[in-house]
């Protein structure tokens, strides 16, 4: 509206002072020049909403203006309409209009020279290019620059969105890993505490109570130490592992446990499960149990055994819990079998998070995991945990 008002007002001023673009006699003189000017000003109000219509009607209006004394304001408003048609029109129109105006710019002088053999008519071609091809080319350049800026903005937004999605996935994965580590490190000790505290409360015997309290204290201290190591790991991750922070007591985070510590783990399980009639045995069938395995595989195997022993302390019937390890060049197999059935005495509640954590650990290594009751050849039902962990090629030197 402002452009239309400015063009119309400027045209009226030029007409009032007698400035016209055509000085020779024309069929329509005087106020007839105001009619194309008014139509062109009206088309300016539609330059964004209907660019194709304004170009067609504006071209016919400019031709009609040539039959009057003409006005510079009409010509200038036509150039703005041509520019807006390329800038705000459809992509097809934005590609087509510059080529069309270029052909018109070339065709007009050729046609006039063939009709009027005078060299000065070539100036008409220059004038046609200035009012049509020039604005159309300018609109195309501006539109291309605007589209490039918009594409760059969209790419930046997509990059930021992908980065945020990656960050969220990393945070969720890290939270899941921390939850597994916390459960595996502390659940064993807390289960033993729950079982022995229940026994101490249910049995009115001083010796039993003293033994239970000794086991409770031992597991409490070890559980606190495990918790302290986990907190130190969380606080010191990313640092150089030098002098630790406040919670770490000046020590870096402990190294990941290995299968060499299974003897200690089973000895602790024997102490915790003695009151429930549970025994624990290790059957290591690996040809060379000193052979180094990839750290993720060894940690997963250790945690699976640890969680299986914790579940046996909670739920297994009296009998022997057997841990069996076997390793080939391709896979490490972990089997933990425990008596299945009702058990006397106190039991600790379970949440099922242990099985979920073991399954997640195996899935992260692209292995196979099974857990559930199995009937053996002699008709005995056992609870069997079986995990197959792929061993990467060349893991012996890992």
Q: What is the dihedral of CA 340, 342, 343, 348, to 10 degrees?
A: 90
Region 191-214 average pLDDT: 69
**Contact between 212 and 197 (Cβ < 8 Å):** yes
Residue with the bigger pLDDT between 221 and 47: it is: 47
pLDDT on residue 395: 42
Tell me, yes or no, if the pTM score tops 0.75.
no
Whether residue 387 has pLDDT greater than 90: yes
**257-284 residue pLDDT tens:** 788 888 888 888 888 777 778 889 998 8
Paired residues of 326 in beta bridges: 333
**306-357 residue pLDDT tens:** 888 888 888 888 889 999 999 888 889 999 999 887 766 555 555 567 788 8
- Nearest in space to 9 (alpha carbons), one of 38, 45, 50: 38
Lowest mean pLDDT among 94-98, 374-378, 390-394: 390-394
Decide: residue 119, CB within 10 A, 0-12 exposed, 13-18 middle, 19+ buried: exposed
> How would residue 253 be classed by pLDDT, with cut points 50, 70 and 90?
very low
pLDDT on residue 345: 57
> How would residue 234 be classed by pLDDT, with cut points 50, 70 and 90?
low
């Amino acid at each position: 509206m402002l452009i239309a008002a400015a063009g119309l007002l400027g045209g009226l001023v030029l007409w009032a002072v007698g400035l016209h673009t055509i000085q020779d006699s024309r069929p329509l003189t005087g106020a007839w020049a105001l009619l194309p000017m008014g139509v062109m000003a009206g088309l300016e109000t539609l330059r964004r909403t209907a660019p194709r219509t304004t170009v067609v009607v504006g071209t016919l209006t400019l031709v009609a203006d040539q039959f009057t004394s003409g006005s510079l304001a009409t010509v200038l408003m036509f150039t703005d309409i041509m520019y807006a048609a390329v800038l705000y029109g459809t992509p097809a129109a934005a590609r087509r209009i510059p080529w069309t105006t270029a052909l018109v710019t070339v065709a007009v002088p050729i046609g006039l020279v063939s009709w009027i053999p005078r060299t000065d008519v070539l100036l008409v071609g220059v004038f046609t290019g200035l009012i049509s091809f020039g604005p159309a080319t300018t609109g195309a350049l501006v539109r291309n620059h605007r589209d490039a800026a918009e594409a760059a903005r969209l790419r930046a937004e997509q990059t930021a969105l992908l980065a945020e999605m990656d960050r969220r996935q990393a945070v969720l994965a890290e939270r899941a890993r921390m939850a597994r580590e916390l459960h595996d490190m502390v659940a064993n000790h807390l289960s033993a505490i729950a079982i022995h505290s229940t026994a101490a409360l249910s049995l009115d015997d001083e010796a039993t109570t003293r033994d239970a309290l000794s086991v409770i204290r031992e597991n409490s201290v070890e559980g606190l130490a495990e918790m302290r190591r986990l907190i130190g790991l969380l606080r010191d991750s990313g640092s150089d592992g030098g002098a630790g922070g406040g919670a770490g007591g000046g020590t870096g985070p402990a190294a990941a446990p290995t299968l060499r510590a299974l003897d200690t783990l089973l000895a602790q399980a024997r102490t915790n499960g003695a009151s429930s009639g549970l025994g624990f045995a290790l059957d290591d069938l690996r040809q060379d149990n000193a052979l180094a395995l990839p750290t993720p595989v060894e940690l997963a195997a250790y945690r699976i055994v640890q969680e299986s022993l914790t579940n046996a302390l909670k739920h297994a019937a009296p009998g022997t819990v057997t841990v069996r390890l076997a390793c080939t060049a391709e896979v490490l197999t972990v089997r933990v079998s425990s008596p299945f059935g009702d058990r006397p005495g106190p039991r600790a509640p379970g949440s099922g998070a242990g099985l979920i954590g073991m399954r997640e650990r195996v899935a992260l290594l692209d292995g196979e995991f099974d857990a559930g009751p199995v009937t053996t050849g002699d008709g005995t039902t056992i609870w069997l945990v079986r995990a197959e962990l792929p061993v990467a090629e060349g893991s012996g030197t890992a």
